[in-house]
Amino acid sequence: MKKPQTKWPATETDVTLLKMEPSSRKIAHYMQEAIKEAEKAFENGEVPVGAVIVHEGRIIGRAHNQVEQLKDATAHAEMIALTQASEALGDWRLEGTDLYVTKEPCPMCAGAIVLSRVKRVVFGARDEKAGAAGTKMNILSDGCLNHKVEVAAGVEENQCRELLQSFFKKRSLD
């Protein structure tokens, strides 16, 4: 069994996950994979958001923000990972998948997640300005839409938030 990484901040969420069932450890593992993607974005001067999509215990999509690199406002981590997952499954319907993302999805990404029929979104840091998974609005669970997505918030929240804060602090100094 893999030992928890010592770089985790000792947060209530992290401690709770470590005490829980193996499935909770898997959740932490997949969020760590999303964080690795976010770190790639940070290194490339992109807002550090990373995402992975899991189907039947296998990562079928992984991406980080590439808005600046591709000069494309839609090149968010979630959008790129959704495209990869669709290609992996050979279907635009991503039923039975879980999307792990380091920051709460924006309205654009939340809409694409709903349309793709993702089962569950697990995110780290809340987005106080444009969070569309419950913070500012709740597109993922809106009863007016054709699909509702389960949401789990705050997984590895401190680590995800600190990565975002470090990026914006560094950017303001440059």
Q: Which residues are part of the catalytic machinery? A: 78
Closest CA to 103 of 161, 162, 165, 149: 161
3-state secondary structure of 151: strand
Distance CA 122, CA 154 (A): 8
Residue 82 to residues 15, 40, 45, 74, 75, Cα–Cα distance (Å): 30, 18, 22, 12, 11
Q: Cα separation of 22 and 71, whole Å? A: 40
- End-to-end, the C-alpha distance of the chain in Å comes to 42
Q: Considering only CA atoms, which of 110, 102, 97, 114 is closest in space to residue 136?
A: 110
